Amino acid sequence: MVTRGILVRMNVRPVRRRRNRSGLAAGTSRRGVTLAESVAAAALLSRIAAGLLPRITRSADLREDAWSHATAVTEVANLMERIALLRDDGQLDPSELQGLAVSEWASKELPEHELAIRLTDESDEIPDQRLTVALTWRDSSGGRSAPVSATAFLYGGAR
């Protein structure tokens, strides 16, 4: 090659790159994921998901049961307050309790609910009555729930 009157001689040899075990040129690496690695990762993730699914389902059932129980406690407390208004400084008559029912809100929240109101005389020396309000419903497992109940003792007032 001649450049501005100067003769330059160039030695050109093909460059041989060294190759590593995988057949790639030295200094380069393989990028990406093989099919076997993908299958192994998918199997591992599906195994973890299968193990977690029953726990997630159970926690959802427990959350639903806790919500139903809180609803029942609130409803029993509300019923006791309604009964206290009926009392009017005297003894309760069982016929006054016949018209009491679970509120519309609680009826929607508590499937197949059953309300039991019992009024018993506990008169020894002091005239008193024992009032028990109990509420049960069908829980998320399909069985009957343990009753949520409240008891009050009503003293004083003659019949």
Q: Is the pLDDT of residue 120 over 90?
A: no
Q: Give residue 1's pLDDT.
A: 54
Of the two residues 115 and 157, the one the predictor is more confident about is: 115
Least Cα distance to 95 among 71, 80, 117 occurs for 117
Round to whole Å and give the CA distance between 146 and 157.
Answer: 34
For 132-159, write each residue's pLDDT tens digit.
999 999 988 888 888 999 998 877 654 4
Sequence-separated (6 or more) residues with CB below 8 Å from residue 7:
1
What end-to-end distance do the CA atoms of the chain give, in Å? Answer: 130
Round to whole Å and give the CA distance between 20 and 143.
Answer: 68
For 16-68, write each residue's pLDDT tens digit.
667 666 666 666 666 777 899 999 999 999 999 999 999 998 898 889 999 99
